[in-house]
């Protein structure tokens, strides 16, 4: 059976769902195809930090109400190194911007609800998604629906929002794309804990045993990460080892102590930097993790996905409303400028805060010198603050 829509969207992550929502506000029709179930996408634990521009987009498009009620606005972060804490005043240094701690899966729930309440389709549980005729004005998406029936969706444009492991990017002929990759020699071990917050602001800790991060989710649930081996296994980390490592890496001279609690979730995240250029092939546009990955240290991945789809939604709106294709033609160039800024920031934060396998005492001293400079120089702290809180979207 063949259906028709204006924009076929592959993937119901933050990129796909927000794009569908922004297009719907402009009366542009789309169909979202997702391999997983609604329950699965709403239960996947990932990002926690929304930058100012992301918060603004969600509010301006009418899906920010629960985030404003349940999220936590933070005006600073703490860098901890050599046993001492140093606050970076994000708001004071970035011209009044702040960040919101609100879990990615809550954003997903808000976006999925907005779309389904509006009676617009998200097809969950699809299989065998194949993109066809992308280099023509009549691209098609072939797939099996949740019941196993073969379907085809004819569209004007396809948005590849299917994440790093999706089908969209590999569908672009290899001679028409260039990929840039860096894999880091470590991962992040993440836990969720039943405990009250131990700190008012996120703590990014540099330690000779490796990086640690204290984040939060709610007054009773905390999110903690620590640097681990790239091929590490959850089974290698009994609770007692996790707490010992966290206490060691986060120790300060002033008696501050992390609050322990019941650990109810453990997982390992790989760390890589990746960009594909261009982010377009014919009538296919890539957005979010399908086009780029950053290591999580700068908290940029979800925010980049949001920035991409805002540029793409505007370009598609100019096409449908004013018959202008110039913004679509510029999409990749426009998006990549922000992508590479975030790639650099994420690489810089990662390099400054983690222990590397080939670390020498010289390298360790260089990291400490950089951290010392960031916390003493207003110019350097401003660089961190404006990138972390997020450069303006326009
Ligand atoms: P995804 O979220 O990966 O969504 C893609 C969707 O496409 C998925 O639902 C997938 O099931 C679906 N899909 C895949 N293949 C197909 C197919 N063939 N057909 C149809 N559907 C398909 N970012 C931040 O900004 N701040 C943070 O604090 C932060 N912390 C993070 C912490 C962790 C532990 C991790 C893992 C990531 C973190 N990130 C953070 C990154 C952020 O989670 C991602 O950048 C974000 O999810 C990207 O959204 P996306 O929509 O592009 O891709
Ligand atoms: C969280 C994740 C990040 O990658 C980060 O830099 C800060 C916080 C989090 O999950 O809360």
Per residue of the chain (394 residues), give pLDDT as tens. 779 999 999 999 999 999 999 999 999 999 999 999 999 999 998 889 999 999 999 999 999 999 999 999 999 999 999 999 999 999 999 999 999 999 999 999 999 999 999 999 899 999 999 999 999 999 999 999 999 999 999 999 999 999 999 999 999 999 999 999 999 999 999 999 999 999 999 999 999 999 999 999 999 999 999 999 999 999 999 999 999 999 999 999 888 889 999 999 999 999 999 999 999 999 999 999 999 999 999 999 999 999 999 999 999 999 999 999 999 999 999 999 999 999 999 999 999 999 998 788 999 999 999 999 999 999 999 999 999 999 988 7
| Beta partners for residue 123, in sequence order | 33
Which residues in 345-377 are b (16+ Cβ under 10 Å) and which e? bbbbbbbbbbbeeeeeeeeeeebeebbeebbee
Atom of ligand 1 nearest to the CA of 45: 34
Candidate from 71, 217, 296, 335 with most ligand 1 atoms within 8 A of CB, to mutate:
296
Of 317, 11, 306, 322, nearest to 159 (Cα)? 11
Q: Please tell me the distance between residue 121's alpha carbon and the centre of ligand 1 in angstroms.
A: 20
Q: Which two tokens stand for residue 33?
A: 């195809």
Atom of ligand 1 nearest to the CA of 308: 52
pLDDT at 2: 77
Q: Is residue 296 left, alpha or beta, with left meaning phi > 0 and alpha meaning psi from -120 to 50?
A: alpha
Q: pTM for the whole thing?
A: 0.97
Q: Rounded CA gap, 252 and 84, in Å? A: 6
Which residue has the least CA distance to atom 45 on ligand 1? 301
Q: Please tell me the distance between residue 104's alpha carbon and the centre of ligand 1 in angstroms.
A: 9
Candidate from 55, 71, 144, 163 with most ligand 1 atoms within 8 A of CB, to mutate:
163
Please pick, among 143, 157, 184, 388, the residue that the annotation labels catalytic: 388
Of 306, 291, 267, nearest to 340 (Cα)? 291
Ligand 1 contact, 33 CB (< 6 A): yes
């Amino acid at each position: 059976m063949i259906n028709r829509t204006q924009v076929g969207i592959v993937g119901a992550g933050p990129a796909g769902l927000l794009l569908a929502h922004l297009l719907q506000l402009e009366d542009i029709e789309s169909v979202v195809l997702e391999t997983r179930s609604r329950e699965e996408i709403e239960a996947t634990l990932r990002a926690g930090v929304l930058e100012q521009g992301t918060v603004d987009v969600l509010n301006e498009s009418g899906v920010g109400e629960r985030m404003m009620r349940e999220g936590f606005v933070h005006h600073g972060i703490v860098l901890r190194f050599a046993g001492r804490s140093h606050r970076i005043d994000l708001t004071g240094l970035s011209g009044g911007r702040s960040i919101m701690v609100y879990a990615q899966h809550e954003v997903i729930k808000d976006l999925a609800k907005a779309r389904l309440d509006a009676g617009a389709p998200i097809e969950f549980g699809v299989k065998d998604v194949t993109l066809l005729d992308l280099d023509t004005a009549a691209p098609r998406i072939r797939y099996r629906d949740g019941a196993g029936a073969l379907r085809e969706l004819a569209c004007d444009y396809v948005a590849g929002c299917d994440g790093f492991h999706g089908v969209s990017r590999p569908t672009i002929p290899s001679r028409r794309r260039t990929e840039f990759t860096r894999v880091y020699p470590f991962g992040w071990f993440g836990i969720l804990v039943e405990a009250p917050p131990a700190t008012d602001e996120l703590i990014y800790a540099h330690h000779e045993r490796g990086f640690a991060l204290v984040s939060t989710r709610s007054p009773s649930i905390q999110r903690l990460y620590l640097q681990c081996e790239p091929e590490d296994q959850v089974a290698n980390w009994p609770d007692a080892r996790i707490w010992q490592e966290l206490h060691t890496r986060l120790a300060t001279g002033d008696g501050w102590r992390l609050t322990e609690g019941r650990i109810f979730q453990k997982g390992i995240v790989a760390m890589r930097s990746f960009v594909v250029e261009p982010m377009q092939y014919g009538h296919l546009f890539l957005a979010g993790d399908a086009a780029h990955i950053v290591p999580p240290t700068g908290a940029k991945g979800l925010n980049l996905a949001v920035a991409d789809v805002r540029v793409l939604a505007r370009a598609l709106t100019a096409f449908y409303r004013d018959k202008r294709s110039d913004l679509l033609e510029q999409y990749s160039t426009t998006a990549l400028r922000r992508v590479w800024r975030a790639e650099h920031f994420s690489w810089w934060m990662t390099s400054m805060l983690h222990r590397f396998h080939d670390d020498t005492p010289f390298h360790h001293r260089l990291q400490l010198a950089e951290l010392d400079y960031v916390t003493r120089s207003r110019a350097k702290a401003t660089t961190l603050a404006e990138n972390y809180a997020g450069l303006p979207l326009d």
